[in-house]
Structure 1
């Protein structure tokens, strides 16, 4: 049985999810309804571990899973699906299989999930709804604090975290923020926690943001719209729907070469941050990242 007791998530003094109690028995279907901004998605994020509750408990078959990361909860049988089709109707069977393999192995095209690739109307609706609840600067501060908390908790005890933090921070400092205001703004925010784990997590988040900004610049330089970049990515039309872009959609075939060119330009824009480290330190950074990822698996 899945159960929550007083499940709450707050940003500052604002309760996004406020004291939720539920019991879900095997084979039972339970609907959660409410208007936009009511906290439905946030509730699912708390239950599945994408967000950490500020109060309350979550149990699965009697086991408290509130401190477990999402992949540990999934191994216990707590699954989640999203509002996106699993098969892309405009692609062949072979293309669907190829994209599934690409998504499983990971790839740079997953970057379109960032805000720069969402439909403008979706961004405006989300921004207006969030702005009515809490000022954006408080959301940003809470997000950064959660990132640092996770890093201190998950990375703090790992060997070589101090060295990894130092290498990541050097790359962040060397990264060119031209045309990337979101990256520049995140980089300017002071960290609430200066422990090695927190610094590592925040630095890696910044590098991801920088690479995403570089990809968005490259997409526009390639003459592609944000919608075209999403369509030519691994999730195709399903990704477009998830990002708030309504059909009809242009054909994907003509976009492939532009996408490949954009990926190459992205690498060139992001490269100076790592070139500044030098070959030896870059190699060490990759090795430390591999070790850290293995330790977290």
Structure 2
């Protein structure tokens, strides 16, 4: 369901890059930088080694993942960091999700999708699906479900990129450019040959195909409602 892919991705990015999220990590004792992000987001994998974390998440460069995961390790166990990150997800959602969104209906449809998803070869999604989602915080829960669905597409996209014959660094350069690839931890990324760009387009198509069975679990009316709710929920965050 391509209509919801971009808003779910971008709203998740807003959370991950916000100063409010960084402040949660600092208050929890994480040093400035990517420690809270790496230890929190990837903590659902447990006490994995750096190479394992890198292999599972894929798109961030080894420099960023190594520094962030190791910086966060002395602060708290992986499971605790993931729970703290989930709490930050929900807190950010309560601040940034518009008040007039029917989050109860969104949560119902989103949970149907999350429960129906095939998690084979998608370990980061599987880990986040297992994170407890409180019933007494519907707005925060809606944001957590946005995050879980974002992890599903991200994991599908990593698989699609590799199936299309691209490396993660090449995919990042094609998608975001050399400067942004550097920002996301890739050392000295080089421009990618134009002949590889069709592979990127194929990866995008494959990602949609991998997600299609998930959204097929909703009826036509439910898919329309879900797209409308995602658009309403991910409206521009409060400045």
Which TM-score tier does this pair reach, normalised by the shorter chain? 0.7 to 0.9
Q: Which residue of 2 aligns with 1:199?
A: 141
Aligned to 1:273, which of 208, 214, 220? 214
Give the alignment of 1:43-62 within 5 angstroms. Answer: none
Q: Which moved more, 1:213-222 or 1:281-290?
A: 281-290
Q: Which residue of 2 aligns with 1:132?
A: 74
Given the alignment of the two structures, is residue 289 of structure 1 paired with residue 230 of structure 2, yes or no? Answer: yes
Given the alignment of the two structures, is residue 146 of structure 1 paired with residue 160 of structure 2, yes or no? Answer: no
TM-score (norm 2): 0.73
Pair 287,120 (structure 1): closer, same or farther in 2 beyond 3 Å: same
Coordinate RMSD, CA, aligned = 2.8
Structure 1 spans left out of the alignment, 5+ residues:
1-7, 17-36, 46-113
Give the alignment of 1:103-252 within 5 angstroms. Answer: 115-155=57-97, 157-192=99-134, 194-233=136-175, 235-247=176-188, 249=190, 251-252=192-193
- CA distance in 2: counterparts of 1:265 and 1:161, whole angstroms: 30
Pair 232,275 (structure 1): closer, same or farther in 2 beyond 3 Å: same
SS at match of 2:29: strand
Query: Could you list the runs of 4 or more consecutive aligned residues of structure 1 that deviate by over 4 angstroms after TM superposition?
Result: 8-14, 294-297
Pair 197,222 (structure 1): closer, same or farther in 2 beyond 3 Å: same
TM-score (norm 1): 0.60
Pair 283,248 (structure 1): closer, same or farther in 2 beyond 3 Å: closer
SS at match of 1:132: coil
Pair 41,204 (structure 1): closer, same or farther in 2 beyond 3 Å: closer
- CA distance in 2: counterparts of 1:212 and 1:195, whole angstroms: 26
- CA distance in 2: counterparts of 1:242 and 1:171, whole angstroms: 32
Aligned to 2:197, which of 236, 250, 256? 256
More strand per residue: 1
SS at match of 1:232: helix
Post-superposition shift, 1:295? 7.7
Deviations 1:41-86 (A, max 9, x none): 79xx9xxxxxxxxxxxxxxxxxxxxxxxxxxxxxxxxxxxxxxxxx
- CA distance in 1: counterparts of 2:229 and 2:214, whole angstroms: 17
Pair 178,257 (structure 1): closer, same or farther in 2 beyond 3 Å: same
Pair 154,228 (structure 1): closer, same or farther in 2 beyond 3 Å: closer
Q: Does structure 1 conserve the Cα–Cα contact (< 8 Å) formed by 2:61 and 2:185?
A: yes
Q: Does structure 1 conserve the Cα–Cα contact (< 8 Å) formed by 2:161 and 2:203?
A: yes
- CA distance in 2: counterparts of 1:12 and 1:246, whole angstroms: 26
Structure 2 spans left out of the alignment, 5+ residues:
1-21, 38-55
Post-superposition shift, 1:129? 1.3
More helix per residue: 2
- CA distance in 1: counterparts of 2:189 and 2:100, whole angstroms: 49
Higher relative contact order (CA 8 A, sep 6+): 2
